[in-house]
């Protein structure tokens, strides 16, 4: 039996230096990664639990993966958008779009990660 699902189920963030990217995301988001090789590409899998809502993905290094600020934008949830932006900048990132109110939905912001990707943040009003 198939259960209903939101359309997005997985993401891959292109990286140039997988160890640098793992360090960046581990520090900024307090996450641990599992490294694997999939189809001759280096992958660092984000944590995933069937108990939690949302999707997961990987940091991906290989010929077909090119970091960019012009492509798809992935939003990461954060409890404290100011702290997450601070950690991103302290670890080699830069703010691309400052913390901005999204009305009743909360706040959004964007930063460039250690690899040159545009990454977005979302904080709900009730998260802090």
How far out from the chain centre does Cα 83 lie?
Answer: 15
Cβ 86 vs Cβ 92: under 8 Å = no
Q: Answer yes or no: is pLDDT of 128 > 60.
A: no
Which CATH class, in words, describes the domain spanning 10-127?
alpha beta
Is the pTM here over 0.85, yes or no? yes
Name the nearest CA neighbour of 120 among 81, 90, 89: 81
Q: What is the pLDDT of residues 62-79, one digit of tens each?
A: 999 999 999 999 999 999
- Ordered by start, the domain boundaries in the chain are 10-127
18-29 helix and 81-90 helix, angle to the nearest 10 degrees:
150
State residue 127's pLDDT score.
62
22/43 Cα distance (integer angstroms):
10
């Amino acid at each position: 039996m198939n259960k209903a699902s939101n359309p997005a189920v997985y993401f891959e963030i292109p990286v140039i230096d997988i160890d640098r990217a793992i360090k960046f995301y581990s520090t900024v988001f307090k996450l641990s990664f599992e490294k694997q090789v999939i189809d001759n590409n280096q992958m660092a899998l984000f944590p995933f639990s069937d108990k939690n809502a949302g999707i997961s993905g990987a940091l991906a290094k290989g010929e077909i993966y090119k970091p960019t600020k012009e492509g798809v934008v992935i939003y990461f949830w954060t409890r404290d958008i100011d702290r997450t932006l601070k950690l991103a900048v302290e670890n080699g990132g830069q703010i691309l779009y400052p913390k901005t109110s999204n009305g009743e939905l909360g706040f959004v912001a964007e930063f460039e990660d250690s690899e040159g990707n545009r990454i977005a943040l979302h904080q709900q009003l009730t998260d802090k």
